[in-house]
Structure 1
Amino acid sequence: MKGLYCGGALAALAAASAASAQTAPLAEPQAKAGLPADVIADIVVTARKREENLQETPIAISAFGNETLEARGATRVDAIAGSTPNLTLSNSPGFGAQSSPAIYVRGIGQKDFSPFTEPGVGLYLDGVYIARSVGGLLDLVDIDRVEVLRGPQGTLFGRNTIGGAVSITSRQPDFDHISGSAALTIGNYRRRDFKASLNLPLTDSLAVTLSGATINRDGNVRRSDGRDLGNEQRLVGRFALRWKASSRMTLNWSVDGTRVREHGPAFRLTGIDYRSRIFNPDNLPLALTAGGTPLPPGVAFGTPQNGMVHVIAPPDGAFPPAVVAATGGYRSTLNFPVIDLNGSAPGGQIYPSQSGDAPTDNFALLNNYVATFLGGQPCLSPPNGSALYDPSGDPANGACYNNQYVTRTNQGTGADFSRIDIWGTALNIDLELSDSIDLKSISAYRKLKSASDRDGDHSPLEIVRYGNDPVDQEQVSQEVQLLGSAFGDRLKWIFGAYYFRETGVNLNQVSFTPLSFEVGGYFRNTSIAGFGQLTFDITDRLSLTPGLRWTRDRKFYDATAGGIIANRIGIVDPRTQYPGGLPACGVLNPSVVCPLGPTKGTAFAPGQLVQQGQASTQYSDLTPMVNLAYKAADGLLLYSSYSEGFKGGGFTHRTLPLPILPGGIPSFDPETVKVYEAGFKLDAFGRRLRLNAAFFNTDYSNLQIQVFVGPAPQIKNVGSARIRGLELEASLAPGGGWRLEGGLGYLDARYTSLDAALVNGGLTRNAVTLSSKFEQVPDWSINASLSKSMSIGDVELTPRVDWSYRSKVYFDSINTQAIAQPAYSLVNASLTAASLSDGWTFSAQITNLFDKAYYNSGVFNETFGVQENLIGRSREWSITLKKLF
């Protein structure tokens, strides 16, 4: 791969033998030394692969220059979410490491960090696509601007941008003079950040920039063993070289690296779900009947009677190795697991379902079931009017998983860490072939290596542990763009080609109450594309822009993981018990006692592979776009557009309870969107008022969402949807140093059809329905900020207040209320004092001013029974001293 990268770079250099480059675009600052201008400044963006004024670019864009980001106290890319309509960009590690962003734009995205699935919003650093979300919460060190492009960007940016794209542009070296900056930030939670950059011209045509940062902060959730979760401990560095090789050619070469050594994410146990479809789907109190006393006549096992559910203990306290059968909604009768703790049933008979089925569909309850019947702990309590499965949380019952662990302190004892190492290098060559034609080459190589471990039940027990989840990935990409103009600049065009390849290994090791196993393996993905886009000025005011991109993806997966590691309770594959299929007995037919199967022994023996074999897939797609823009008046741009996009498919590597036979590795197909959009951009009152708006309708097909098949979170294509919405962004500069900014986003996202067999699957009590809300996406996102700049001698003093609001958010596709985040607002405040003569800036900031408690994300798998939430940070203060030179 490294050789391929070098070959691509050398080939581009050879092609660029004698030419000159257009310089790297720089956004005009909205302020100098912290002082807002009395007019709203222009911002230059490159959303269409060339420099354009934001207000003259007929697509929905939010752009943030470096000064704006510093004024908002933004240190990481997710900080822009509160200021961008219809953008969700949060740390949503779910089952894995920290620094794994879930990015959603206009309701479309992906929260799964697995390299076997693709994001729905593209993340770009200096034009280079970052394929994997692990480590994707990039620190904003020595950057020029961040652009958020809303809507599919399938023509110029390609696959996996069906929701939009987040493009980060670094500050490039300049040849003028030595310059730099240094900033020190301290705050509570032992925050201590240091950032520095140095621009060094070596000659009139050669300059370098060195920048780096160390970022440190304690976590906001404390474990009982003293470890803090959600902490920050990162090192970031970047080297950039710019060489103006001739009057027509410029080369920009960069190397960046990030090192993360953090504890696990700031999750806390917020509840336990004890329901079991096997004998207690309605969460009723339990009645334990000793000695195997039969149920009353006509009462089947697991049915409510007198407001409770009966579980009959076996004679002499023996553990019942009964056939575990759920109601008929399971995928097939061959999927019913069997508990076989003793190896053989007393008297040669398997206990019938109505005499004590083990709740293998809820591992929290299964733990308590085993502790009760085998360990003598009273984890399954008789009804006492309110008690259910000993929820009182008595610490004396150490083997019981109950409310004793639902506290503000995380009670986990397992490993909790996140280690990430990333480095990348890119070579950009800008070449002026003639006065009207430019050639641009972007060659890049990136390497990711991460490992994480997380105690998912937040207790000393092992209900669920997401352990040893390494990702080792590298990618190489080459893009060539040919840009030009004709007919006196009435026609602007761009044609290009793109190549991408990544390889890697991802192994997921998970431990549950009954089993420990490892899944995953080697992956290889390649993508090639060709694209073109034209903008033709039909008149001085009317322009038409058509575009088209062809993409072909190939994916390969080799299941090489270790399979079953341990079978602690004795889970048996019923295919070894009943090769011809499970008889209609037990819960399926309570009147028939389930017979002993012809064979004994487990199909989940240590060393057995959960997945076997290899799988590959290939698909291609055309993504067109057409845009019509009209300059209705000076400062007023109207536009409408139609665009399409697609997100790549992938493979399901998380599979349980049954092994996947060779050649049977499940996969999912690409998803597609068709978007109709209209909008306007307005500058009025001498550029003191800016108002941009967009209205859109999205036809969303073949949706990929995360659903649970037993304990396994899997991506499946589930149907179609439509998303309607609007976005408004406004900025007002009335004079006197006052600045008012705000934004509003609204989404009406609804499923229009669902594949019930895939969504429900019979494996969950809850399911996605046509009335379900999209996960991770609020209906309303609103923000506003107010600042006032005033002069006091040589110092410009700027107080600022930022407010953001998000309506209710569900964190999973089945809309689990217990982990949802109700509507909430956050307020940040800052005060900046900037010296206009010597480059010193002092700022003080308070985030979450009113100490609002909120969740950043949540995880619930009903097979685990664990409800957990990622806790948002409480009120924090910091002060920053910065020196420009």
Structure 2
Amino acid sequence: MRSHAALTRYRTMLLQSVGVTLGVTLGLTSVAAAQETFGLEEIMVTARKFSEALQDTPISITAFTATDLEKRGMSNISQIGDATPNMKFDATAPISGASNAAAIFIRGIGQTDFILTVDPGVGLYLDGVYISRSVGGVLDLLDLERVEVLRGPQGTLFGRNTIGGAINLTSKKPDGKFAGMGEVTMGSYNRIDARLSVNIPIIEDKFFARISASSKNRDGFGRRLLTDQKYGNQNTNSVRGAFRLLPSENIEINLSADYTRAREESPVTTLVWDRPLSEFGGGAITGLYNMFVAPVTGLPYDSRWLPHEKNTSYATGPTGSNLDVWGLSMTVDWDAGPVAVKSITAYRKVKADFGRDPDGSPVVLVQTSNVMDTEQFSQEFQFTGKAMNDRLTWLAGAYYFKETGSDDVTANIGWGIFEALGIPLSIHGPTIVDNRSYAAFLNLNYAITDKLNLSGGIRYSEDKKKATVNQYFTDLGILALANPVGKKNFDDVTPKVSLDYRWTGEFMTYASYAKGFKSGGFTGRYVVPTLEPRPFDPEKLTTYEVGFKSQFLDNHVRLNASAFYSDYKDIQVTIFNGVAPETRNAAKGRIKGAEVELTALPAEGLTVTGAIGYMDAKYTKFNPLDSVGLVLPLQITNKFVNTPKWSLNASAEYRFPLGEKAGDIALRADWNYHSKIAMDAVNTPELIQKGMSLINSRISYHSPNEMWEFALFVTNLTNERYFVGGVADIASFGLVEATWARPREWGASVKASF
């Protein structure tokens, strides 16, 4: 148990960091108080389903405008994780081999497994449409108006329950002005990217369209030494069409269609090993291979396969990550007088195939390939209105979600051993899911006085899940392992209450209490016979939060902060059981922490931002046995997955004129830091990413009429070599593999607007 002195030390560190932030703020803005010709842009958000200023919203939010995203050089949604306190967003899930598989964590809550039988812990929404699956969830930042990151449970406002938080992406709507932009970027690793967006008024004041497209291409930075094959590349094309119809003064219809196609190699994964070399490959299956097969093939599995060069591997097995994603949505807004009605109807489909060779050698110890095909349909209704002389604002909603899908997996485990023993070679078979979700939610905001507001909401959720786990030995062509069908219903009622008080026009405080719920599911991988898929229970979360939002010094400084305490039950963790990863419930944990975010204008043309995130997460109780009596390899002292104690970021941009008709130049630097991170639940030492900093820099020229922009940039300026995920299976195979982030890269871009 942590000592009182240690707890005091951590509290002191947090207070000192906040104090430094405040001190820098006051120092930087002493000049700004005398300036009145410029100020911070007001940021509007829709976190509570109606448009309001960020500073009026009693929720912990990090918001990015389209301009913010562009200045930071972000091109896909995963990159916002570097600029958001207490958030980690990886573009590839471990175990998958997929280059587009979102693994999102907010305040220590998320999910690393991409499998169809496990739900994500953070909700991802595109124009109000829930994105249900990890694969295909790393969305292109194509023609977006705004990105909002909401921390904590958000079930009383969003269609699908979101236990850890929500990422809300809002696209630009077509309007009545003909306009557009085109951009080309070139850089290292033969990078060639292109973007195009055109807004077209079709019928004046009635019908508008917006067409956007992007293409991203660059070579891989990893290499397979035996085949000289590059991997970790990018080859993705996206297109989106948005159509806006105004048939009458009180009806607005928005239609959208999007399509993404990727034909890439797998992410860069390599073996890592920090123990005595004699222990490498010391697992049970490895031992059998070395005993029965290696004497015949002359290829033992030992430390010779550990790479001696960065970003290299001796693997020769499956690689590749292909993806096709398309979606359709229709949103109808009808202002029916005292009640406004919104309908969101959406369909999305994902087809993907990807593979991996985690043993990192020409020896066929373990290889996996997946062919995934999923589709989802959702329908949401929202009813909003005001009452009691407009002091009460209310929202009631109903939500339906249907998902079907299959993940056809082929796993070659110990190939050669089983052949020598006369046993079939591969395990194969699709996991099939058929899920339904129903929900009703209500949220009320009541102005007790002109300064004091009370908000309360409640949600009922019911999930009906069915999973069929087909697994065969392919050479026999008959059911040899399992063909179980599991059906289970999960439901819960989750409330939320908050109170906010506006002390002045520029300072507001709030306190909230909320409960969150994430559905249970089934284990979707087996290597032993079973009568039914092993279920796991839902997660439940209770969060207490306090915070303030402030804007001062003549609108030159914005400083927001929040502190939270979360009681986390039945935590779903992914661990290896034998040779297969599966999800089980750890017992209980608690997470406490804080976020501080700053934006300041010290002088005209100079913008400074900064943020501090702090988390203290630990297991408070642990279930030593699972449902079949196997010991879970976790301990009370284990760190939560993807939960750094500290996450910090800062940026500075100075834009200065070259002359009245010469345009201007902007100089920008972005820095982010996180303390050490555990990449797996059992805290494998080789998968503890040490604390580290990243720096990006950018210089850009803007023409006088803002019609042209030229930019030069560098990402990962100090060329940090770090990993973003990993898998350890020491008992069975005696190996640890890590997935690596991209090294230092440079580029140049030119953008034209019309």
TM-score (norm 2): 0.90
In the aligned structure 2, how far is the partner of 1:230 from the partner of 1:791? 40
- Cα offsets for 1:88-118 (capped at 9, x unmatched): 0012331211111110000000010011100
Comparing 690-699 with 838-847, greater Cα deviation is found at 838-847
The equivalent residue for 2:326 is 423
What residue number does 1:481 align with?
382
For 1:32, the equivalent position in structure 2 comes to none
Deviations 1:193-216 (A, max 9, x none): 000000000112101011000111
Pair 376,711 (structure 1): closer, same or farther in 2 beyond 3 Å: closer
Of 443, 460, 478, which aligns to 2:362?
A: 460
Deviations 1:317-363 (A, max 9, x none): xxxxxxxxxxxxxxxxxxxxxxxxxxxxxxxxxxxxxxxxxx99533
Is 1:611–1:665's contact at 8 Å kept on the other side of the alignment?
no
Distance 1:462 1:537 in 2: 66
Measure, in 2, the Cα distance between the counterparts of 1:806 and 1:873. Answer: 17
Separation of aligned partners in 2, 1:222 and 1:630: 57
Say whether the 8 Å CA contact 1:124–1:165 is kept in structure 2.
Answer: yes
Tell me the matched-pair count: 702
Q: 1:785 aligns with which of 621, 637, 651?
A: 651
Partner of 2:296: 375
1:739 aligns with 2:594: no
2:339 corresponds to 1:437: yes
1:564 alignment partner in structure 2: 473
The structural deviation recorded for 1:227 is: 2.1
Give the partner amino acid of 1:149: L
Alignment root-mean-square deviation, CA: 2.0
CA contact (8 A) 1:113 1:133 kept: yes
TM-superposed CA distance for 1:615, in Å, is 1.3
Between the aligned partners of 1:273 and 1:416, the Cα distance in structure 2 is 28
Q: Is the 8 A contact 2:331 2:343 kept in 1?
A: yes
Aligned to 1:85: 85
On the 8 A contact 1:174/1:199 being kept in 2, the answer is: yes
Task: State how far apart, in whole Å, the 2-side matches of 1:464 and 1:284 are.
Answer: 18
Is 1:619 aligned with 2:490?
Answer: yes
Q: Which piece of structure 1 moves more, 103-112 or 613-622? A: 613-622
For structure 1, the 5+ residue unaligned runs are: 1-35, 276-282, 286-358, 378-397, 567-604
Query: Cα distance, 1:874 vs. partner?
Result: 0.9
Rounded to whole Å, the distance in 1 between the matches of 2:713 and 2:620 is: 45
Partner SS, residue 492 of structure 1: strand
Matching of residue 57 in structure 1 with residue 65 in structure 2: no
Q: Which runs of 5+ in 2 are unaligned?
A: 1-35, 418-424
Q: Distance in 2 between matches of 1:650 and 1:877?
A: 44
User: Structure 1 residue aligned with 2:566, among 694, 698, 703?
Assistant: 698
Cross-structure match for 2:637: 771
1:548 aligns with 2:458: yes
**Which moves more between the two structures, 551-560 or 681-690?**
551-560
Among 236, 253, 260, the alignment partner of 2:262 is 260
Q: Deviations over 1:232-259 (max 9, x none)?
A: 1101000111010101101000000100
Mapped partners of 2:612, 2:95: distance in 1: 32
Using the alignment, how far apart are the partners of 2:666 and 2:569 within structure 1? 48
Amino acid paired to 2:163:
I
2-structure distance, mates of 1:615, 1:859:
27
User: 1:140-198 deviations in whole A, cap 9, x for unaligned?
Assistant: 011111110001112112555111011111111001x2100000000001110000000
Amino acid at match of 2:127: D
Distance 2:283 2:627 in 1: 18
Q: 1:840 aligns with which of 694, 708, 712?
A: 708
Give distance in 2, aligned partners of 1:555 and 1:813: 25
Q: Kindly indicate whether the alpha-carbon contact (under 8 Å) linking 1:274 and 1:362 is maintained by their aligned counterparts in 2.
A: no
Mapped partners of 1:749, 1:404: distance in 2: 36
State the 1:273 CA deviation: 7.2
Give the match for residue 713 of structure 1. Answer: 581
1:518 positional shift: 2.0
User: Is the CA contact 1:120–1:160 (under 8 Å) kept in the aligned structure 2?
Assistant: no
Q: 1:505 aligns with which of 400, 403, 406?
A: 406
Write the letter of the residue equivalent to 1:881.
Answer: V
Which residue identity does 1:259 align to in structure 2?
R
Quote the residue 2:449 is aligned against.
539
Which residue of 515, 530, 544 maps to 2:440? Answer: 530
Which residue is equivalent to 1:311? none
Post-superposition offset of 1:272 = 8.4
| Aligned equivalents of 2:625, 2:180: Cα separation in 1 | 60
Q: Tell whether the 8 Å contact from 1:160 to 1:646 is kept in structure 2 after alignment.
A: yes
Alignment of 1:95-494 (within 5 A): 95-96=95-96, 97-175=98-176, 177-204=177-204, 205-224=206-225, 225-271=227-273, 361-371=283-293, 374-375=295-296, 377=298, 398-408=299-309, 409-434=312-337, 436-467=338-369, 469-494=370-395
Q: From the superposition, tell whether residues 152 and 405 of structure 1 become closer, same or farther in structure 2 (CA, over 3 Å).
A: same
**Residue matched to 1:340:** none
SS class of match (1:430): strand
Cα distance in 2 for residues equivalent to 1:633 and 1:479? 37
Alignment-derived partner of residue 573 in structure 1: none
Which structure shows the bigger proportion of residues in strand conformation?
2
Could you say if the C-alpha distance between residues 195 and 284 of structure 1 is closer, same or farther in structure 2, counting changes exceeding 3 Å? closer
In structure 1, how many angstroms separate the alpha carbons of the residues matched to 2:246 and 2:457? 32
Cα deviations across residues 438-486 of structure 1 (Å, max 9, x unaligned)? 111100000111111111112111121112x111111000001011112
Equivalent residue, structure 1, for 2:670: 802
Cα distance in 2 for partners of 1:666, 1:184 equals 50
| Residue 607 (structure 1) aligns with | 478
Match among 681, 686, 690 for residue 813 of structure 1: 681
Stretch of structure 1 that moved more, 360-369 or 200-209? 360-369
Identity within the alignment, %: 38
AA of the residue aligned to 2:740: I
Distance of 1:118 and 1:533 partners within structure 2: 25
Q: CA–CA distance in 1 between the matches of 2:224 and 2:627?
A: 36
In 1: Cα distance, 2:297 partner to 2:203 partner: 80
Of the structure 1 ranges 624-633 and 735-744, higher mean CA displacement relative to structure 2 is found in 735-744
Contact 1:272–1:403 (CA<8 Å) still a contact in 2? no
Whole-angstrom distance in 2 between the partners of 1:37 and 1:168:
32
CA distance in 2, matches of 1:160, 1:89: 19
**Does the residue aligned with 2:482 lie in a helix, a strand or coil?**
coil
Contact 2:305 2:361 in 1 (8 A): no
Amino acid at match of 2:464: R
Q: CA 1:273–1:465 in structure 2 vs 1: closer, same or farther (change >3 Å)?
A: farther
CA distance in 1, matches of 2:497, 2:646: 28
CA shift at 1:761, angstroms? 6.0
Give 1:849 shift. Answer: 0.5
Query: What corresponds to 2:66 in structure 1?
Result: 66
Cα distance in structure 1, aligned partners of 2:379 and 2:91 = 29
